[in-house]
């Protein structure tokens, strides 16, 4: 009996190092601490994912829908150009018509009705198109029919609302037509880039047209 009591009194106490080690291990393995750590580290990812989802849910109007105001006119784009720029214009028309939206282009040499008066065809092309691309080159500035069609387009939409799209090529800024000075132009340095800019401008106008139509209906 006495021996057993003596051994109990002399049993060594756990060291301070061992106690602190055990307490740290229990803290690190605690479910509440690990879950809170995970929650803290993942919260930025969750907020980013939520914001990306909310942004992607905002979709642009479908300009090709059956009830789209795009179909109120025969053409999406009328290309105004001089005879000397036909080759470049044909490339532009091929690019636009080859887009997923299949933009409808009026090309005078291809789409004008044989036997019709030039004035009639030019006026009809302007009135039946949503947008007008003015390919302003040295030949354009010397062509009276180009200037006539430019004036018709400005009369149709005198405000700079995105319908008139001037494209400057091989022409100094000082020779930019005075009638278009209140409208920003696209400077054609790289053909592919300029084609994309024209496409984006037409697309932007048609989308805005659809939005305006939807608001009026609401």
Higher pLDDT: 18 or 96? It is 96
Q: Is 147 exposed, middle or buried (0-12, 13-18, 19+ CB in 10 A)?
A: middle
Give residue 184's pLDDT.
94
pLDDT value of residue 218 = 61
Q: What percent of the chain has pLDDT over 70?
A: 72
Percent of the chain with pLDDT over 90: 64
Contact at 8 Å (CB) between 132 and 100? Answer: no
- What's the pLDDT tens digit per position in 85-141? 999 999 999 999 999 999 999 999 899 999 999 899 999 999 999 999 999 999 999
Question: What are the tens digits of pLDDT across the range 28-40?
Answer: 444 444 444 344 4
- DSSP E strand stretches across the chain: 75-80, 105-106, 129-136, 164-168, 186-187
Q: Is the pTM of this model over 0.85?
A: no
Q: How confident is the model at residue 46 (pLDDT cuts 50, 70, 90)?
A: very low
Compute φ and ψ for 114, nearest 5 degrees.
Answer: -60, 135
Name which of 168, 133, 173 is nearest 153 in CA terms. 133
**Mean pLDDT, the chain, whole residue set:** 80
């Amino acid at each position: 009996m006495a021996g057993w009591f003596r051994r109990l009194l002399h049993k060594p106490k756990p060291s301070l190092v061992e106690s602190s080690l055990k307490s740290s291990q229990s803290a690190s393995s605690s479910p509440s601490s690990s879950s809170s750590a995970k929650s803290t580290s993942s919260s930025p990812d969750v907020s980013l994912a939520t914001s990306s989802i909310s942004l992607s849910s905002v979709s642009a109007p479908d300009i090709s829908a059956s009830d789209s105001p795009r179909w109120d006119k025969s053409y999406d784009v009328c290309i105004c150009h001089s005879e000397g720029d036909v080759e470049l214009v044909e490339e532009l028309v091929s690019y636009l018509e080859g887009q997923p939206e299949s933009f409808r282009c009026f090309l005078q040499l291809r789409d004008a009705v044989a036997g019709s008066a030039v004035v009639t065809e030019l006026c009809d092309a302007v009135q039946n198109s949503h947008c007008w691309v003015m390919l302003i080159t040295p030949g354009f500035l010397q062509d009276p029919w180009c200037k006539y069609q430019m004036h018709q387009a400005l009369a149709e939409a005198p405000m700079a609302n995105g319908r008139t799209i001037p494209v400057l090529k091989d022409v100094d800024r000082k020779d930019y037509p005075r009638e278009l000075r209140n409208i920003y132009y696209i400077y054609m340095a790289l053909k592919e880039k300029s084609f994309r800019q024209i496409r984006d401008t037409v697309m932007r106008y048609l989308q805005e047209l659809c939005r305006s139509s939807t608001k009026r209906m609401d």
